[in-house]
């Protein structure tokens, strides 16, 4: 019988998940590490990866706030089988407080649901914006990780989250249009001053093809933008993940038997092993300053 450790070793060999990166040497801080899961193109697995990564970090005893930052298609709560009464939109509209919206979705995983309405932040008066800034900043000491499931594309609504995050996890697939869209995303994020971009190739038929697609991206990035991105994970096309997604099953808390979960768990270890990522100021401080 193959024991758990051997299984993990095999997964590690296959997975192209390497040890902690010098890319993200970290300033020590009590604030949570913010990770924006984003993509140039929709339907590449951002929501799925956000959920499974949050679950994997929670299994490492980390406290995770999962924020639905997809303004167009906020669906994390649906995948978690939750029907929240209040969401971030209500908070911004002043219809509820921060504590009313955050739900413990699974042990260690807390959800801030539904982002539609967040775009109204930009139109609030200075006093109200400052109150919200304080409310959001208050969250940063309460969690180890903030994972934001953003929308796709290079609109300012998406890049606002990504450019201010400590780490951008850019998800792409083998699809040729995903390559062009991922490149466009890197370009915009670099222009906006983002430095920590980690790539996850999802739905890869095998590791070789996943790596080749990453190399295609990185070659373009190095040639035209002069600063490489880093490969963080190659995730397989997995019929079980598809089945769970279609059935809208609670992904958090699912068993760790398959390769997708195994690699995501190694990705979580890698992120934890990197220590604290990023800048002196907190994510929400940066986000709100950008709105002034």
Ligand X SMILES: Nc1ncnc2c1ncn2[C@@H]1O[C@H](COP(=O)(O)OP(=O)(O)O)[C@@H](O)[C@H]1O
Residue choice 19, 43, 97, 290 for contact with ligand X (CB under 6 A): 43
Q: Which residue in the shown chain puts its C-beta closest to ligand X?
A: 245
Q: Does 40 bind ligand X (CB under 6 A)?
A: no
Helices 176-191 and 156-164, interaxial angle, to 10°?
70
Listed in sequence order, the residues at least 6 apart from 72 whose beta carbon sits closer than 8 Å to its beta carbon are: 116, 151
Q: Does 262 bind ligand X (CB under 6 A)?
A: no
Q: Which parts of 183-202 interact with ligand X (CB under 6 A)?
A: 202
> Cα(5)–Cα(143) distance, rounded to whole angstroms?
29
Residue choice 38, 47, 56, 254 for contact with Mg ion (CB under 5 A): 47
Residue 28, Cβ neighbours under 10 Å: how many? Answer: 6
Q: Does 166 bind ligand X (CB under 6 A)?
A: no
Q: Does 34 bind Mg ion (CB under 5 A)?
A: no
CB of residue 118 to ligand X, shortest distance in Å: 17
Q: Does 108 bind ligand X (CB under 6 A)?
A: no
For residue 222, the surrounding DSSP H or E stretch is helix 207-225
Residue 62's alpha-carbon distances to 53, 108, 151, 269, 283, in angstroms, are 11, 7, 25, 11, 18
Stretch that binds ligand X, among 45-53, 87-95, 180-188, 192-200 (CB under 6 A): 45-53
DSSP strands (E only) in the chain: 33-39, 64-69, 103-106, 109-112, 145-152, 167-172, 197-204, 230-236
Residue choice 195, 237, 258, 281 for contact with ligand X (CB under 6 A): 237
Residue choice 228, 245, 253, 256 for contact with ligand X (CB under 6 A): 245
Residue 87 touches which member of Mg ion, ligand X, none, C-beta under 5-8 Å by kind:
none
Residue with tokens 């995903």: 178
- What does the binding site for ligand X look like in residue numbers (CB under 6 A)? 39, 42-48, 202-203, 235, 237-238, 241-242, 245-246, 260
């Amino acid at each position: 019988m193959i024991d758990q450790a051997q299984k993990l070793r095999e997964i590690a060999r296959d997975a192209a998940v390497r040890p902690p990166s010098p890319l993200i040497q970290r300033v020590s801080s009590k604030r949570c590490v913010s990770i924006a899961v984003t993509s140039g193109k929709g339907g590449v697995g951002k929501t799925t990866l956000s959920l499974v990564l949050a679950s994997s970090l929670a299994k490492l005893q980390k406290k995770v706030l999962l924020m639905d930052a997809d303004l167009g298609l906020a669906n994390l709560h649906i995948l978690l089988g939750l029907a929240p009464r209040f969401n971030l939109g209500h908070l911004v509209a002043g219809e509820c407080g921060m504590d009313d919206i955050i739900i413990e979705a699974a042990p260690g995983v807390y959800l801030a649901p539904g982002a539609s309405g967040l775009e109204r932040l930009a139109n609030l008066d200075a006093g109200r914006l400052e109150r919200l800034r304080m409310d959001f900043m208050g969250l940063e000491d309460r969690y180890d990780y903030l994972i934001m499931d953003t929308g796709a594309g290079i609109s300012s609504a998406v890049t606002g989250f990504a450019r201010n995050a400590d780490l951008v996890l850019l998800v792409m697939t083998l699809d040729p249009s995903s390559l062009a869209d991922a490149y466009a995303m890197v370009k915009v994020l670099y222009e906006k001053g983002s430095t920590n971009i980690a790539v996850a190739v999802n739905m890869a038929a095998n590791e070789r093809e996943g790596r080749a697609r990453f190399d295609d991206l990185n070659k373009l990035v190095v040639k035209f933008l002069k600063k490489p991105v880093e490969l963080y994970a190659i995730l397989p096309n997995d019929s079980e993940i598809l089945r769970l997604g279609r059935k809208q099953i609670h992904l958090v808390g699912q068993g760790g038997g398959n390769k997708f979960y195994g690699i995501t768990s190694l990705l979580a270890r890698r992120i934890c092993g990197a220590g604290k990522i990023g800048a002196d100021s907190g994510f929400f401080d940066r986000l709100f300053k950008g709105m002034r």
